[in-house]
Structure 1
Amino acid sequence: MSKIRITKEFSFETAHALHGYDGKCKNIHGHSYKLSVTVIGKPIDDLTHVKCGMVIDFGDLKKIVKSEVVDVWDHAIILNKNTPHLHLAKQLKELGNNVVLVDYQPTSEKMIEDFAHRISTQLPNHIQLHSLQLRETETAYATWYAEDQV
């Protein structure tokens, strides 16, 4: 039986700031992110299995990505906890804002690495994460491929 890739798309709104950056992105600003998640596996061929013919139920993939990424990052402010933004994060939290502190500069490149780890650790053993695409704007995106992670 052949391996099949399936993709599910997600969207979420997130703000971030790039401490130390030499352009406008050093300021808190937001994006309407689009995340495409592609997994690979063999469709279930057991005719008695309720998921027969599926690599993974799109609903099951949605639950994983929502809990690991969308529900955490949607309408949140992402800041690097190893910068002076930590003081700002504390103030924002005290004002009732959803703040997520990360161990890296919250660029699309680093975010997609984080998402790949979060998602891949939750997938069933017979399914592998194949690729992710994180679209920050209509014309700018980062792509992660499992095959590149050697």
Structure 2
Amino acid sequence: MSVKIYKETYFEASHRLMHYEGKCSRLHGHQWRVEFWVEGDVPADTRILVDYNLIKKVVEAYDHQVILNEDDPMVECISKFQDVITTKGDPTSELLAEIMVFELEEKCRDAGLSARVVKCRVYESVSCFAEWTP
């Protein structure tokens, strides 16, 4: 039986965009909102496509973190005081959506689930988001 589920979750994190001219080139924070739409075949034994807590764990890994481009010179300095999540490229909402989709799908595969993400939205604010679709 094929099913679709939806999960909305939040995290707080700071980032900066090295290759952007404007305010976002400075280190700043957001309350990020992440929405996942997932579909697939439900296992007959559990009747659960994906545990909502699995989705939440993917997003929680970013909570109260500093997220920077791996080439950002701030990484070396901030890493002396706390962990830094680095990305290949500026940590835009577009890139974070792609990364989180990959991470969730990898966790689903590892758990033997046939679930796949059909859409993911990452909001930097209430009025703007990036949407990932396959």
1:96-134 Cα deviation digits (max 9, x unpaired): x33111111111111111111111111144211111111
* Secondary structure of the structure 1 residue equivalent to 2:125: coil
Shift of 1:64: 4.6
Q: Distance in 2 between matches of 1:131 and 1:33?
A: 16
Letter in 2 for 1:102: T
Letter in 2 for 1:63: L
* Secondary structure of the structure 1 residue equivalent to 2:89: coil
Aligned match for 1:80, one of 61, 69, 73: 69
Taking structure 2 as the reference length, the TM-score comes to 0.86
Shift of 1:5: 1.0
Q: Distance in 2 between matches of 1:15 and 1:131?
A: 24
Higher relative strand content: 2
Q: Could you say which residue in structure 1 is the equivalent of 2:53?
A: 62
5+ unaligned residues in a row in structure 1: which ranges? none
Q: Could you say which residue in structure 2 is the equivalent of 1:126?
A: 114
Q: Select the structure of larger CA radius of gyration.
A: 1
Q: Is the 8 A contact 2:67 2:86 kept in 1?
A: yes
Percent identity over paired residues = 27
Q: Could you say which residue in structure 1 is the equivalent of 2:14?
A: 15
Shift of 1:69: 3.3
Q: Distance in 1 between matches of 2:27 and 2:124?
A: 15
Q: Distance in 1 between matches of 2:114 and 2:85?
A: 31
Give the root-mean-square deviation of aligned CA atoms.
1.7
How many residues are treated as equivalent by the alignment?
131
Q: Is the 8 A contact 2:10 2:59 kept in 1?
A: no
